[in-house]
Amino acid sequence: MSKVIAIANQKGGVGKTTVTRELSACCALRGFQTLAIDCDPQGNLTSSWVDPEVYEITLSHVLIEPESPTGVKAEPLPLDDAIVESPVENLDLVPADIRLARFEMQPDYLTHRLNNQIKEHGSSYDLVFLDCPPQLGKLLTAALYSADFVIVPCAADAMGLQGLSDLAFTIGQVKKNVNSGLGMLGAVINLYKPSRNLSAESRQAVEAAVGLVGHVFDMNLHDYSKVAEAPSQKLPAVLYAKSHRAADQWWGFTDEVLEKLRMPKHKIAAVK
């Protein structure tokens, strides 16, 4: 059965897409069949992997009921129809674009559709990562309904904890009312600059908030330029800059995540 991990924080600019992108790529390169679902209408995860001509169907076609010229709504498309290959072996993508923003105006019952579609069409994957939008709404709710775990990226700045208590409350409500199995896998410090005093202070603040985040990963994700450059090449940092410290940190973080998930660091091929 797939393990579904939402990368979420109600504060923007903390690097959710970068964490989703690099972590999903590292897991795929370790041999795990991995699916990354872009749940953000900005589509930054999508554009970092593929060009628009590669896909026609997006997550909006899966979640939003289409309307015919007569006004009669039809069934959305299955998740399978939206899956495309990424440039990384073992990593597939469900793309998104601005049309996904219309999901916020859809009926409440459709917030369960993503979960149902992942269960029906995502069982062949070992890991499913959900890149969540920064604001609380139906898209984030749908992702949390679908997830087994949440990873919370926190920027290493004075505003790094903004929205964390709101997210913890939202997760608590989802656990209470809909998804009792949802767990907080932990928080990760992103955009870390060791030369700045605020970076160390921000980590200390996140650790002090362990009651909200459950765990703080040891690896600080530094703000290396190689990580920012990689999307322009449609590659993860671990392939774009294999020998750089930027790659080392993502492998280290991946090790921590897989350990928390109680999974091996490398997928062991089945013996035939």
Q: Rounded to whole angstroms, what are the CA distances from 237 to 45, 62, 119?
A: 14, 30, 30
**What would the pLDDT profile of 230-270 be if each residue is shown by its tens digit?**
999 999 999 999 989 999 999 999 999 999 999 999 987 54
User: How far is Cα 136 from Cα 9, in angstroms, rounded to an integer?
Assistant: 9
Cα 73 to the center of its chain, rounded Å = 30
The model's pTM: 0.92
Residues 6+ apart with CB under 8 A from 189: 154, 156, 160, 199, 202, 203, 206, 216, 217, 220, 221
pLDDT on residue 80: 96
pLDDT on residue 270: 44
pLDDT at residue 47 above 90?
A: yes
Closest by CA position to 7, among listed 111, 153, 136: 153
Res. 199 pLDDT band, cuts 50 70 90: low
Res. 197 pLDDT band, cuts 50 70 90: low
With a pLDDT cut of 70, the percent of the chain lying above it is 87
pLDDT on residue 212: 66
User: How far is Cα 3 from Cα 34, in angstroms, rounded to an integer?
Assistant: 10
Query: What average pLDDT score do residues 54-58 get?
Result: 95
pLDDT on residue 271: 38
Closest by CA position to 79, among listed 140, 36, 126, 141: 36
More confident residue, 70 or 26: 26
Q: Rounded to whole angstroms, what are the CA distances from 124 to 3, 59, 90, 103, 119?
A: 11, 19, 11, 26, 10
Query: What average pLDDT score do residues 126-131 get?
Result: 98
Residues 6+ apart with CB under 8 A from 184: 149, 150, 152, 168, 171, 212, 213, 214, 215
pLDDT at residue 272 above 50?
A: no
Query: What average pLDDT score do residues 204-210 get?
Result: 67
Query: What average pLDDT score do residues 177-182 get?
Result: 94
Orientation angle between helical segments 164-177 and 138-146, nearest 10 degrees: 60
What average pLDDT does the chain have?
89
Closest by CA position to 270, among listed 94, 36, 31, 43: 31
Query: What average pLDDT score do residues 88-109 get?
Result: 96
Query: What average pLDDT score do residues 209-236 get?
Result: 86
Res. 196 pLDDT band, cuts 50 70 90: low
197 phi/psi in degrees, rounded to 5: -60, -35
